Chains A and B, each alone.
Chain A
Amino acid sequence: DAGVTQSPTHLIKTRGQQVTLRCSPKSGHDTVSWYQQALGQGPQFIFQYYEEEERQRGNFPDRFSGHQFPNYSSELNVNALLLGDSALYLCASSPGPNYGYTFGSGTRLTVV
Chain B
Amino acid sequence: KQEVTQIPAALSVPEGENLVLNCSFTDSAIYNLQWFRQDPGKGLTSLLLIQSSQREQTSGRLNASLDKSSGRSTLYIAASQPGDSATYLCAVRNVSNDYKLSFGAGTTVTVRA
Contacts and interface: CB of A to CB of B under 8 A. Distances in A.
Interface size class of A (residues with CB under 8 A): 20 to 34
Contact of A56 (B4, B32, B36, B99): B99
Interface string B58-79: 0000000000000000000000
Contacts of A102: 46
Interface of B: 4, 32, 34, 36, 41-46, 49, 51, 89, 91, 96, 98-106
Given A40-B105, A100-B49, 6 more contacts: A4-B43, A33-B99, A56-B98, A97-B99, A103-B36, A103-B46
| Interface residues of B, dominant DSSP | strand
A62 to B, nearest CB: 18
B46 A101 contact: yes
A88 B102 CA distance: 17
Contact of B89 (A42, A104, A105): A42
A42 B34 contact: no
B43 A42 contact: no
A70 B32 CA distance: 28
Given A48-B99, A97-B96, A100-B49, A42 B41 contact: no
A43 interface: yes
A18 to B, nearest CB: 24
B43 A33 contact: no
Contacts of A63: none
Given A100-B34, A101-B46, A103-B36, A56 B100 contact: yes
Contacts of A55: 99
Nearest to A103: B44
23 contacts: A31-B99, A33-B101, A40-B105, A42-B91, A42-B104, A42-B105, A42-B106, A43-B44, A43-B103, A45-B101, A45-B102, A48-B99, A55-B99, A56-B99, A56-B100, A58-B100, A90-B44, A92-B101, A98-B51, A100-B34, A101-B46, A103-B43, A105-B43
